[in-house]
Structure 1
Amino acid sequence: MYSPEQENICTTSTKVPVKYGELIVLGYNGSLPNGDRGRRKSRFALCKRPKANGVKPSVVHVACSPQAAKAISNKDQHSISYTLSRVQTVVVEYTHDINIDMFQVGRSTESPIDFVVTDTVAGSQSNADAQTVQSTISRFACRIICQRTPPYSARIYAAGFDSSKNIFLGVSGRSEEKRQEGMTQKLTRSSFFVFITQEKAAKWKTADGQMDGLTTNGVLVMHPRHGFSQDSRPGVWREISVCGNVFTLRETRSAQQPGKLVEAESQELEDGSLIDLCGATLLWRTAEGLSRTPTLKHLEALRQEINAARPQCPVGFNTLAFPSMRRKDTPDEKQPWAYLRCGHVHGYHNWGNHREEREGRERCQRECPMCRAKGPYVPLWLGCEAGFYVDAAPPTHAFHPCGHVCSEKTAAFWSQIPLPHGTHTFHAACPFCAQQLSGEQGFVRLIFQGPLD
C-alpha cells in the first residue's frame, strides 16, 4: 500500500532498487494535462519495496459465523467477501506473504491505492474535462502482485483492498456513497447483511470449492502476440477475476453471466500487456522491455534532426520546426501542419479554405494545394511518451485525425489494436491522446518539402 515515504523510492534511494516494470496510461503524451502530482500521474513505476506487503488466501469462513464477522472488522486482516445469496456469504481471509509485493490501482485517493487513475477523455486538455463525466472506473479497481525474486513476474487480479483491508464485490449504491463521504468506520455484522442483499457483481463457487468473482465493470487484459516489438500483433481481450483466473469477455461489461474459463491462459503480465479498467487503459512495460525503448533524449535528438533538415511550407516557403517536447498544447508560428488525407506537410495558412466554408463543411476539412485531396488539416505534434514506441525509428507518420507523429512501426501497431470503448464496443485509438482513429489505415506517411536553396 502507498505511503509518502515510498512515493519516490525508485529515484531517491542511494541503492538502486529493483524495478518490476511501469504502468503507462494511454491518452497522455508524457504527463497529465495539469502535470503529474503524487500518485496521480501518467505513468507509475513498480519497484521492489523495502518490506514485502503481499497477501495470499488463507482461511475460509461462512459469514454468519463469529470468525467471519471478526475477519471483516479486523483492521489488520485482509479479507474478500462473496455473497452467494441472501442467506449464504463466504469470507476468505488473506495472510501475509513475504515473497510478493502488492500494488493497487484505482480511482480512489485513499492510502491503499498506489496509483490513482481517473477516466481518460479523448483529446482532453485538462483534468476538468474528465471530471465532467461520471466515472466508470472502480475506486479499488485492481491489484498487481510482483514476485520479489527473479524473474520478478507480475500478475494482475481484479479488485483492490479498501482502507479496511476488505473487498466487497458489487457494493450497493448506498454503501458506496457512505464510503465516498469518508465514513470509514467498520461494518458491523448487522450492517454487512444490509447491503449484501443488493449484490450485483458476478461471483460463484468453483468446482474445487474455492470462491471467485468479477467486479461490476470488469478488468480486461490483452497480451499482444510476439511481445511488444516491431512484429507485435493484437492479442485477444480477456477478463481477469478477483482470484486472477482468465475468462472470455461477458456479453457486456456489467453482465451478470461471466464468460467461459480459459484454463490455458495466465494472468501474468507480459511486456506490452494492456489493462482496461472501463474508463482508462494502461500499458504494462517490463523493466527489460523499457531498456529497449527509445529514451526521451533519443526522441529529442530525432526532433532536432528533423528541424535541422529545415523542412519548408510549399505554399509560404517558410521554414518549419517541431516545437520543444515540453510544449504540447498551443501551435507556434513555425508549427508543421499536415493534410492527413495525403500527408503533405505545410505551415498554417488559410489558402483554399473558402470553398469549404461556402459548402458549410467543418473548418478542419481542407483541400491540399499540392494534390487537391480533401481531409483533416491539423497541427503535428511529436509523440513524447517513449513507452508507446515499438522501435527507435524516426517519426515519419502521423495518426489520423489527431496529428500525433511517431515511427511507422509504432503507428502501424496501434492502428491495429482494438481498445475497449463503452460497454461492448472496441476501436483503435491514438495512444498519445486516445482519439479514435479514422481514415483508411488510421495513420498517414508525412511528405516534407526540403529547403529550395
Structure 2
Amino acid sequence: MPDTKKDRLHPELHSGPSVLQATDNQLQATDNHLQASASPMSLSAQPPVVFGELVILGYNGQLPHGNKGRRRSKYVLHRRPKANGVKPFRKHIVKNPHSSKAVQDSHQHSVSYTLSRNQAVIVEYKEDPDTDMFQIGRSSEDQIDFVVMDTVPGNLRRECESVSQSTISRFACRILVERNPPFTARIYAAGFDSARNIFLGEKAVKWYSGEEIDGLTTNGVFLMQPPGHFSHSTSGGVWREVSVGGTVYALRESRSTPHKSNQIVEENNILQDGTLIDLCGATLLWRSAAGLTASPSEHEFESLVDDINAGRPQCPVGLMTLVLPRKGTLGINDKKPFVYTKCGHVHGQHQWGQGDNNDDNRTCPLCLTTSPFIKLKMGAELSLYVDNEHPTFCFSPCGHMASEKTVRYWSQVAVPHGCQGFHAVCPFCATPLDNDPSIVKLIFQDYTD
C-alpha cells in the first residue's frame, strides 16, 4: 500500500474497519472545524490589500533595540477587515465639554474646541463605512496603531540613547484611507484618545466663525509634498501645516506661535507618494503601494550589490579585495570599504596618510587630496530609494550608500529639526549632512584583473 499523507499522520488506520470508520469521522470533523474557523482571506488565498506604508527617517530598517509590536521603524497600512473610519456629523455649543453627552459616550468620537471657560464647540463624528482610520503618536495605548518616539540622529546615538522630554504628541495625527481604489489617504492633526475624544484647550490655536470650526495642535503636524512624482523628484517641496480638520496652512512664525497662518486654498491634505510628515521629533515618509514599485525589492537590491562586488574592487594600499555588505550582512572586517569624502576614492582600512594632529583627515594615496576617511555602510531601508539603480554614491559624514538619484534627492530635502529650523539629513540615520561635500561619488578600483 502506498505511504499516503493519511497513513503517515494516522497509522491507526491499519488497525481494522471499525477504527478506520471512526478515524475517517474524526478527520471529517477536523476538516469541518478548520473550514468553519478559517477566515475568508485564508479560504480565498487573497493577500490583504496594502494602502501604503510609513517609514521613520533615521533607522535604516530597524530601531536601535529592535522592532517590537507597534513600535517599529516602519508601519504598513492594510485594509481592515471592517471599516473603522469616522467623519464629522454635527456640531453644537456647550458650556462644559467634559460633561457633554457626546464626550462622555465612549462609543462616540468627538472633537472639543474650548473657546473660553464657559463656551466650547463640540463636533460629533459618526462611522464612515468607506474609510479606514490609522492613528500615530507617542502613546502606547491601543488606539495608536503606530507608536513613534523621538528620533536621535545617528551621530549622537552613543551619547544620547533617549530623549528626556519628548516633543511628539501622545496622539499626534490620524490618517483616513478610502477602502476602495484609488485608496486615497488623507492626514489630519491630532488623534482620538482612549475615550474617542480630541480636546483642544483654551490656549490651543483654533478659530470659529459660526460656520467653520478648526484648530492646530501645540507643536503642529507638518507636511511636505514632493513636486511631481516622487521617483522623478530632484528636490523637496514646501513645508505646510495641517489642521485638525484637514485644512492646509502656511507655517507659523515659530512652531508654537499661538496664531494660525494663511490657508493654502489650492493645496489639500491628500498624501502623495513621497509625502513627508513631521511630528516635531520624528519625520515620516509616506510611500503608496503603487509608488513602491519604483524602489528595488530585496532580491533586486542584492543583485545590484552583487554586480559591484563582481568587479572585485581592490584597496590600492592593502591590495585586498573589498566586499560591499548586502542587506542584513555586516561584511568581513578586513574587507570593509572606506572612502575619502573629498575625492571619492574607495579603499580598505589602512593607516597611510594620517597627520600628526590626530583628527579624522587623511591624505588619499591616489590623488593626495586631504579629507575625512569614513567607513561605507549600506542604505538598507529600500522604501527610501527613489529609483532602482546601483548604490554608487554615499552621504557625508555618515557614509550610507544608495543610488545616485536617491542620495542627490535627500541632500536637497531640508527636514524640520525639532523647533530649531530645518536641515538636510541622511534618511538612513538622520545625521545632519556636511555642507562640503554632502554627497560623494564613489570611485572603485575594480575590474583590475
With normalisation by structure 2, the TM-score equals 0.86
Partners in 2 of 1:324 and 1:12 — Cα distance? 37
2:271 is aligned to 269
Structure 1 residue runs without a partner (length 5+):
1-8, 170-195
Secondary structure of 2:230's match? coil
1:393 is aligned to 389
2:353 is aligned to 352
Partners in 2 of 1:442 and 1:16 — Cα distance? 41
Aligned length: 410
2:56 is aligned to 25
1:112-141: CA deviations, max 9, x gaps? 000111111110697994524421111100
Are 2:194 and 1:163 aligned?
yes
Q: How does 1:53-68 map to 2 (within 5 A)?
A: 53-64=84-95
- TM-aligned CA deviation for residue 331 of structure 1: 7.4
2:323 is aligned to 321
Q: Percent identity?
A: 52
Are 2:353 and 1:341 aligned?
no
1:323-346: CA deviations, max 9, x gaps? 242146x97221100111111111
Native 8 Å contact 2:277 2:283 kept in 1: yes
1:40-86: CA deviations, max 9, x gaps? 11111111111000111122122326996111111111111111122
What letter corresponds to residue 178 of structure 2 in structure 1? Q
1:73 is aligned to 104
Are 2:116 and 1:85 aligned?
yes
Are 2:204 and 1:201 aligned?
yes
Q: How does 1:243-392 map to 2 (within 5 A)?
A: 243-327=245-329, 332-357=333-358, 362=359, 364-392=360-388
Greater Rg by CA: 2
2:404 is aligned to 408
1:110 is aligned to 141
Moved more, 415-424 or 98-107: 415-424
What letter corresponds to residue 229 of structure 1 in structure 2? S
Q: 1:347 to 1:41 in 2, by over 3 A?
A: same
- Identify which of 217, 223, 228 aligns with 1:221: 223
- TM-aligned CA deviation for residue 440 of structure 1: 3.1
Partners in 2 of 1:23 and 1:11 — Cα distance? 26
1:146 is aligned to 177
Give the RMSD, CA atoms, in angstroms.
2.3
Q: 1:369 to 1:133 in 2, by over 3 A?
A: farther
- TM-aligned CA deviation for residue 96 of structure 1: 0.7
2:11 is aligned to none
- Identify which of 130, 137, 140 aligns with 1:99: 130
1:41 is aligned to 72
What letter corresponds to residue 335 of structure 2 in structure 1? K
Partners in 2 of 1:436 and 1:335 — Cα distance? 24
1:183 is aligned to none
Partners in 2 of 1:108 and 1:38 — Cα distance? 13
1:172 is aligned to none
Native 8 Å contact 1:80 1:92 kept in 2: yes
1:181-206: CA deviations, max 9, x gaps? xxxxxxxxxxxxxxx5xx43211114
Q: 1:10 to 1:256 in 2, by over 3 A?
A: farther
- TM-aligned CA deviation for residue 18 of structure 1: 1.5
1:418 is aligned to 414
Partners in 2 of 1:130 and 1:68 — Cα distance? 42
Partners in 2 of 1:380 and 1:288 — Cα distance? 31
- TM-aligned CA deviation for residue 17 of structure 1: 1.8
Partners in 1 of 2:97 and 2:277 — Cα distance? 38
